[in-house]
Structure 1
Amino acid sequence: MQFLGIIFGSFIVAVAFNLFLIPHETMSSGLSGVSMIIGILTPLNTGIANFLLNLPLLVIGYLKLGRRFICNTILSVLVVSLGLYFIPVIEIAHDIILSSIFGGAITGFGIGVILRCSGSSGGFDIISMLLARKMDFPIGTMLSAMNAIVILISGFLFDWDSALYTMVSIFVTGKVVDAIYTHHVKLTLMIITEKGEEMRQHLLDNVYRGLTVLDGIGGYSNQKRNVLMTVITRYQLGEVKNLITEVDPAAFVNITETVEVIGLFHKTTQ
């Protein structure tokens, strides 16, 4: 179901780009916006540009971030790139304001679906996650700064009306993504298992999160067990539950909603 969700969300993003944003030279956020600029100014197709810009980031992300997350992201980038290549660029709405709003909303819906399926549309998401591992800096602030660059480029290369419409599109996209993808909700998991080392390695290999391993003893059985504690975002819950079951179907898992996280939540521990 995750793969189908990622394919569906990615196709929706490509539709929004080619039918609403690109015909009016309104950019999207992230590397997709840079791909649009390249596609408008050069003979290179937007889909090919999107794939080529994301390719080195996907390779680096596969080596540095969770493998399952990056594999889902690779699928998303491929579908978006193919959609941009094959879907014809048609001006559905003649009003640029309506196109910016609806294009941004449809893009946000598609990205929200991708994120809920444990993936991303690539580009700046991967860059910000990699930078967050090296610097104590919020990912949201990094994304805003990088998107501001897209807006400035749009203004200088086209006109400042296009830049402002791009800002409207990005703003609407962000609002819709936040409504669909509740990434701000954090969950604390306490995993009690007899396969502590195997569980630890499996989670670290597949989830972009750190965890803490504690020693425990069963109160009834008096047998030694490991207690793994980690904080994840709500959209990762389905993926993490599947990973836990793959290692130890009998593991006891306590899931609680977290009010606040203090510290380097976006960094993984080695």
Structure 2
Amino acid sequence: MQIVGMLLGSLIVVVAFNLFLIPHEVLSSGLSGISMILGMISPVNTGVANFLLNFPLLIIGYKMLGKKFIVNSIFSVIVISIGLYIVPQYAIADDMILSSIFGGALTGLGVGIVFRCSGSTGGFDIIGMIVARKRDFPIGVLLSGMNAVVILISGFMFDWDSALYTLVSIFVTGKVVDAIYTDHAKLTLMIITEKGEEMRNHLLKNLYRGLTVMDGVGGYSNNQRNVLITVISRYELNEVKNLITEVDSCAFVNITETIEVMGLFHRPSP
């Protein structure tokens, strides 16, 4: 089912790019936007450019991020790249504003579905996660800065109308992704389980975050339990939920929005 979701989300992104955005020279966010620029100004196909730009990042991400997350991301990038290569570019609508809005919404829908399936569409998301883990830098600020570069490139290489339409597209994409996935930058998880030691080892092995373990007692059963608390980024939510289920499908998990984090957010290197 996860593969079906990844495939569906990736194909929606392809439709958004080739039928709404690219025909009007409106860009998407991240490396996808840079791939579009290369496809517009050079003989290189957008799909080929997308794969070549993402490939080295995915290799680096495989070593530094969760393997399952990166494998899913590789699958999504390959599907999108092949789709961009095969699907012809054709403007569904003549109006640039409508194309920017609907193209951005469809892109957000596709990306959101991919996120919910524990993957990503590659690009700046991978860069943001790597930098955030090494420097504890806010991912949102970093992604906004990199997307601003794409908008400036669009303005200088094409025209500033295209740059503003690109801004609209990126804004709509972000809003739809947040609506489908989660609009919280950081989340706190409280995991209550009878398999505390096994859960601790499994999470520490697969998750680049620290956690705190406390003893607890079931109020109804009076059985001994462990309470594990950790803070994660929104991109890790589905991966963590899968990791928890692998150890204890009956674990009670409370997920709450985290307003602010003080101290060391990522786990220190050994």
Compute the TM-score of the two structures, normalised by the length of structure 2.
0.87
Deviations 1:183-241 (A, max 9, x none): 41734222434461x43342234445432244x37688897x75432234677555434
Per the alignment, residue 161 of structure 1 pairs with 161
Partner residue of 1:56?
56
Q: Whole-Å Cα distance in 2 between the matches of residues 193 and 73 of structure 1? A: 33
Q: Give the length in aligned residue pairs.
A: 266
Q: Tell whether 2:8 aligns with 1:8.
A: yes
Q: Which residue of 1 aligns with 2:254?
A: 255
TM-aligned CA deviation for residue 248 of structure 1: 4.2
Q: What letter matches 2:128 in structure 1? A: S
Deviation at 1:113, TM superposition (A): 1.1
Distance 1:22 1:249 in 2: 44
In the alignment, the residues of structure 2 paired with residue 168 and residue 217 of structure 1 have an alpha-carbon distance, to the nearest angstrom, of 49
* Alpha-carbon distance in structure 2 between the residues aligned to 1:248 and 1:38: 47
Partners of 1:15 and 1:264 in 2: how far apart? Answer: 43
Q: Is the 8 A contact 1:26 1:165 kept in 2?
A: yes
Deviation at 1:258, TM superposition (A): 4.2
Partners of 2:61 and 2:234 lie apart in 1 by 22
Question: In the TM superposition, what whole-angstrom CA distance separates every residue of 1:63-104 from its partner, at most 9, and x where no partner exists?
Answer: 111112112211111111111111111111111111111111
Contact in 2 for aligned 1:183/1:233 (Cα 8 Å): no
CA RMSD of aligned residues (A): 2.6
User: Which residue number in structure 2 is paired with residue 189 of structure 1?
Assistant: 190
Aligned to 1:103: 103
1:213-224 to 2 correspondences below 5 Å:
213-214=213-214, 216=215
**1:197-216 residue pairs with structure 2 within 5 A?**
198-214=198-214, 216=215
Q: Is the 8 A contact 2:58 2:70 kept in 1?
A: yes
Whether the 8 Å contact between 2:231 and 2:265 is mirrored in structure 1 is: no
**Unaligned 5+ runs, structure 2:** none
Gap change, CA 1:23 and 1:265, over 3 Å in 2: farther
Does the 8 Å contact 1:69/1:118 carry over to 2?
yes
Q: Are the structure 2 counterparts of residues 207 and 87 from structure 1 closer, same or farther at C-alpha, using a change threshold of 3 Å?
A: farther
Q: How does 1:32-111 map to 2 (within 5 A)?
A: 32-111=32-111
Q: Contact 1:132/1:266 (CA < 8 Å) preserved in 2? A: no
CA contact (8 A) 1:72 1:119 kept: yes
The answer as to whether partners of 1:189 and 1:255 remain within 8 angstroms in 2 is yes
CA 96–61 in structure 1, closer or farther in 2 if over 3 Å, else same? same
Q: How far off its partner does 1:24 sit? A: 0.9
Aligned partner letter, 1:260 = I
User: Tell me, what secondary structure is at the counterpart of 2:228?
Assistant: strand
Larger mean Cα displacement after TM superposition, 27-36 or 202-211: 202-211
Amino acid at match of 2:176: V
- Please state if 1:21 is matched with 2:35: no
Q: Is the 8 A contact 1:116 1:235 kept in 2?
A: no
Q: Deviations over 1:91-132 (max 9, x none)?
A: 111111111111111111111111122211110001011111
Letter in 1 for 2:150: V
Question: TM-score by structure 1 length?
Answer: 0.87
Whole-Å Cα distance in 2 between the matches of residues 103 and 217 of structure 1? 49
Counterparts of 2:208 and 2:83, CA distance in 1: 28
- Structure 2 counterpart of 1:98, one-letter code: L
Asked whether the 8 Å contact 1:13–1:110 carries over to 2, the reply is: yes
Aligned match of 1:151? 151
Contact 2:216 2:227 in 1 (8 A): no
Mean CA deviation greater in 232-241 or 77-86: 232-241
